[in-house]
Structure 1
Amino acid sequence: MRRLGELALGLAHLGGAAVCEPMPEATKSYGPLQAEVHLTVRGTTDIALFEPVLQTFVTRSDGARIDYEQWASNDLYLATVAECRSSSATADLVVSSSIDQQIKLANDGCAAPYRSDGTARLPAVSNWRDEVFGITWEPAAIVYNKSTIGSAPAPKSRFDLIDLLRPEDSAFRGRVATYDIEVSGLGYLFAFADSQQATTFGRLIEAFGRSGAVATCCSAAIIDGVVSGDYLIAYNVLGSYALARADENPDIVVVAPDDYTLVLARAALIPRRAAMPELAGEFIDFLISEPGRSALRSANLIVDTNESVHAAMRLPENPDVSLRPIPLSLALLVGLDQHKRREFVARWQAAFPKERDRESAD
């Protein structure tokens, strides 16, 4: 993890060469080990969260096995690009929270089309060219721990968060965490979306820089810090991960911000050279079917944002106005333009000149 003021001024273009060959963080198989057919699924969803969904599909399939690989988002993108450009073996299905990267893969010719009665019923925002499919419904949330936040007013919006960070002697100094946009594809996606949503973005990153907020890799690590008390507040993390932790710890509160709440649908695509495209299509159909959606709800990967069905969830007062789903569209490619990326990170960094000056003096 790093203080936000330590982020590098430029971001390497994700299509460029990687320093090390991208590798999965963890792997696990489901179904008969001697199965004649097996589906290789690569995803950014933590195994612990996605496991019930994978197990449900396997029990409903005819003797198939799923080999699931858990990846960091940027590494998954780089690996998929490399396989698309070569003749090497690929995964059969790629599921990523970095939906902008998924759209770019499809736009660059790296995805195979898939059509079924189920995909035809998806709304346009969840089906891009019959190549990229939105399968979840996850709000980007503010998360805090009731046992550690003390008497401070709980934030319900970005305005509240800015106010909490404003005092020089703020109890939240150095104890607010968000994504490191340099290493997290999802973190970059959310931050760029924030910059397009409201004028609060500039004030928010300025408050983060001034108060020594922490940037780290991923939802699970950030939420672990809130649970342990290392962080008092997590910003823009996936509500699905936070609700899973709230099932274990009733002190965890998950807030869909009142000013606006970004909502993400993880995106699935079948790589162009997939060995088992038909089985991958069956898995997509399962995920968007009622049994699949029920399994996703049980895993908190589909979050009801109109009615509070989870004790830990705090919904906006007016969901119809506040909820802002991120559609699957070419507009997502704007933030991936190399010039735009550099420009955005430069804007991000400009909020922290004092931190950079002080660190360079050391």
Structure 2
Amino acid sequence: MIRAALLALTLLAAPAAGQELIRDFGAPTATETLRLRSTTDIAVLGPVIERFLETRPGLHVAYEQWGSNALYRLQAADCTAARVGADLVISSAVHQMVDLVNEGCARPHRSAATATLPDALVWRDELWGVTREPAVMVYNRDLVPPAQVPRSRFDLLDLLRPTESPFRTRVATYDIERSGLGFLFAFADSLEATTFGGLMESFGRSGAVATCCSAEIIDGVAEGRYLVAYNVLGSYALVRARRDPRLGVVAPQDYTLVLARAAMIPREAGQPRAAAQFLDFLLSAEGRAALERAGLLVRLDGEDGTALEISGTAETLQRPIALTPALLIALDTHKRALFRARWRDAFPETGGTAP
């Protein structure tokens, strides 16, 4: 069953403690309700839900927006108690979703739509990757000269190296204690990059800031509180950059992590049929078009009209995060403790209650 440490955290927290927003979609006369829990901003996924419901007047969607760690704890608690809760869960913290599936918290679904996914984006017919979102660097166009725009992690290291660097205290990233996605990106970096140790040392020495959420970090760059943000979810950054000329968005040329948000139908789902229909819609041509309009399907070839700044080719850039049991390493108690200790050395002012 779910890990003892996770259960202890769950029992100490009220189930709704991390719930952020709620919104209803669909006609008031609808007779069937799909309860969707997700880490995706309602403003981003809302138009996709509305498109799905256009041909389903009898269906109502109750959307709950959660932080990734709180959502993980809640789904674990529902699973352990065999309690009906969400009908569909979509999270950016895909390592947590793999763990829930591994613990027997999901039900399978197979269809022509799920069969179109590559092996890396489907696991046990119980978890499916439904988006394509790069981890990017965001910078303030007004305050960072073109010659100083970091195009790679090596460039970022060079910017932070001088003792009197103007980038001191003005680089931001996710706080891995508060953000499951931030933990995932940082852990993936530690496995992928020869620069990771150097970045941690430079972040600590230069007073880099670890903070909560995509919107908060992007706002900070736009307002000039931060000059550069590292490992930010590119889908949100690009949506903002379309309407805010102060923001530049770079796919790191040494490599770019690519996330597919993971969808799961909980084992105790009350409306598994409606959940499967929405999942199949997300994987259909119509659904993919809606996701692309929402900025949740980002191309790395520079040909989709986004503001993403790319150096190199899509093939050399991309490091997709596959939905496999290998992600469970990120949740191993010992490895997690060692990784967080290393993180706190770089960001001593942070601290939180991530599972």
TM over 0.5: yes
Are the equivalent residues in 2 in contact too, given 1:14–1:74 (CA < 8 A)?
Answer: no
CA distance in 1, matches of 2:306, 2:239: 12
- 2:51 aligned with 1:56: yes
Aligned twin of 1:82: 77
User: Relative to 1, partners in 2 of residues 1:303 and 1:311: Cα closer, same or farther, differing over 3 Å?
Assistant: closer
Q: Which residue among 11, 14, 21 is the counterpart of 2:14?
A: 21
Aligned twin of 1:324: 319
**Structure 1 residue identity aligned to 2:9:** A
Are the equivalent residues in 2 in contact too, given 1:104–1:333 (CA < 8 A)?
Answer: yes
CA distance in 2, matches of 1:234, 1:296: 25
CA distance in 2, matches of 1:329, 1:274: 23
Specify the SS of the correspondent of 2:280.
helix
1:164-203 alignment runs, 5 A limit: 164-203=159-198
Cα shift readout 1:26-49 (whole Å, capped 9, x = no counterpart)? 010110123100100000001111
1:1-362 alignment runs, 5 A limit: 13-18=5-10, 19-23=12-16, 24-150=19-145, 153-351=148-346
Are the equivalent residues in 1 in contact too, given 2:29–2:58 (CA < 8 A)?
Answer: no
Instruction: Give identity over the alignment, percent.
Output: 54
User: Relative to 1, partners in 2 of residues 1:152 and 1:175: Cα closer, same or farther, differing over 3 Å?
Assistant: farther
Cα shift readout 1:142-177 (whole Å, capped 9, x = no counterpart)? 011201224651000000011111111111111111
Specify the SS of the correspondent of 1:114.
coil
- Measured after TM superposition, the shift of residue 221 of structure 1 is 1.1
- Measured after TM superposition, the shift of residue 311 of structure 1 is 4.7
CA distance in 1, matches of 2:122, 2:84: 26
- Using structure 2 for the length normalisation, give the TM-score: 0.93
- Measured after TM superposition, the shift of residue 87 of structure 1 is 3.5
Cα shift readout 1:65-104 (whole Å, capped 9, x = no counterpart)? 1111100000000000000011332100000000000000
**Structure 1 residue identity aligned to 2:8:** G
CA distance in 2, matches of 1:13, 1:302: 35
CA distance in 2, matches of 1:64, 1:114: 20
CA distance in 2, matches of 1:15, 1:230: 38
Cα shift readout 1:295-343 (whole Å, capped 9, x = no counterpart)? 1000110001123423521123122112100000000000101111001
Aligned pair count reads 343
RMSD of equivalent CA atoms: 1.6
Specify the SS of the correspondent of 2:70.
helix
Aligned twin of 1:5: none
Are the equivalent residues in 2 in contact too, given 1:308–1:315 (CA < 8 A)?
Answer: no
Specify the SS of the correspondent of 1:65.
strand
Task: Return 38-47 or 217-226, whichever deviates more.
Answer: 217-226
Are the equivalent residues in 2 in contact too, given 1:250–1:312 (CA < 8 A)?
Answer: no
CA distance in 1, matches of 2:127, 2:23: 24
User: Relative to 1, partners in 2 of residues 1:256 and 1:13: Cα closer, same or farther, differing over 3 Å?
Assistant: farther
Are the equivalent residues in 1 in contact too, given 2:79–2:268 (CA < 8 A)?
Answer: yes
- Measured after TM superposition, the shift of residue 13 of structure 1 is 4.6
CA distance in 2, matches of 1:311, 1:114: 33
Structure 2: gaps (5+ residues): 350-355
